[in-house]
Structure 1
Amino acid sequence: MYLDLYKGLNLKPENLGSYDSPLLGFDGKTIIPKGLIKLPIQAGSEVVEVSFIVVDAYSPYTAILVRPWLHAMRVVSSTLHLKVKYPSEGQVGELIGSQAMARQCLVVTIRHQSKGETLAIPEKAL
């Protein structure tokens, strides 16, 4: 989770637990996390508690959900179709992304990388 979202949720520094493992940015630079926080994430009617590593780095995204959330939700994802499907109350729930928004995020990311700003992802996600 990026610091802008963390602050936007009115979460305080004292809400963070310790997290001492450095992360590797998209540009290969090391980023020291601010800490770790567990928050409930709702997708449709499903709610899953997710641990977020909070970083002070630029990103066009507000947070990145990775394997623990995907596994907890029993998600099947398609990056080609920008959607995920998951079992929900005896049916199939679906979250659909936006191709236009994905393109905008890519353009913003490339522009900021060319300015030397750091984008972060956990090393474990690689």
Structure 2
Amino acid sequence: MSVARLPAEIDDWESKKAKRMASPMLGFSDEDKVGIVQPHDDVLVITLKIRGYDVKRVLVDQGSAVEVMYPDLYKGLNLKLEDLTAYDSLLVNFEGKTVTPRGQIRLPIQTGSDIVDVDFIVVDAYSPYTAIVARPWLHALRAVSSTLHQKVKYLSEGWVKEVIEDQAMARQCMVSAISRRPSAEPSTSTNNDL
């Protein structure tokens, strides 16, 4: 048994189908690798506007469930302990050591004309990065990232927009992390400043 559609229903259905097909798709192709040193195994390091400031050395880590802020950025944004709210969970750093967070703070991240607020966990630990953005930021922006293509892509106002990597900075951060001596470990602070 077939169901006949009225002309108005056909037009509406065709219009919806056309809109679905015309909608931009997030994806990566070989064209996205132009300008990237290949082959590589670099992490994705970008510059983001956080709280109105251009912040370099931001690691995009889609494997992480929390955004992290390190002392350089905390100090650079002139934040104080009273700006933080409590955060009771422990974190594990890149070296596998447990880190007790100082607290958390909600800050805006601007990407192009899009602004999303994320909760940064503030830690007093060494990192070659100033911050880590993770799945909460990617999901709030409705973005996808690719370390192979060294980009973050997201939809905004019907267009696919990109955040381009800083591959040279990613390599500098890696060298800094590898060459770091254990004696350079920051001492445990007994005061309330980061």
Q: TM-score, length-normalised on structure 1?
A: 0.88
Aligned: 1:24 with 2:84: no
1:109 is matched with which residue? 177
2:149 is matched with which residue? 81
* Residues in 2 aligned to 1:90 and 1:103: alpha-carbon distance in whole angstroms: 34
Aligned: 1:67 with 2:135: yes
Aligned: 1:35 with 2:89: no
> Which portions of structure 1, spanning 4 or more consecutive aligned residues, are displaced by more than 4 angstroms?
none
Taking every aligned residue pair, what percent have the same amino acid on both sides? 67
In terms of Rg, which structure is larger?
2
Report the alpha carbon displacement of residue 115 of structure 1 after superposing the two structures with TM.
Answer: 2.1
Aligned: 1:48 with 2:97: no
2:168 is matched with which residue? 100
Any stretches of 5+ residues in structure 2 without a counterpart?
A: 1-68, 187-194
> Match of 2:132, SS?
coil
* Residues in 2 aligned to 1:70 and 1:4: alpha-carbon distance in whole angstroms: 23
* Residues in 2 aligned to 1:43 and 1:91: alpha-carbon distance in whole angstroms: 14
Any stretches of 5+ residues in structure 1 without a counterpart?
A: 119-126
> Match of 1:48, SS?
strand
Q: TM-score, length-normalised on structure 2?
A: 0.58
Amino acid at match of 2:72: D
Aligned pair count reads 117
Over aligned residue pairs, what C-alpha RMSD do you find?
1.3
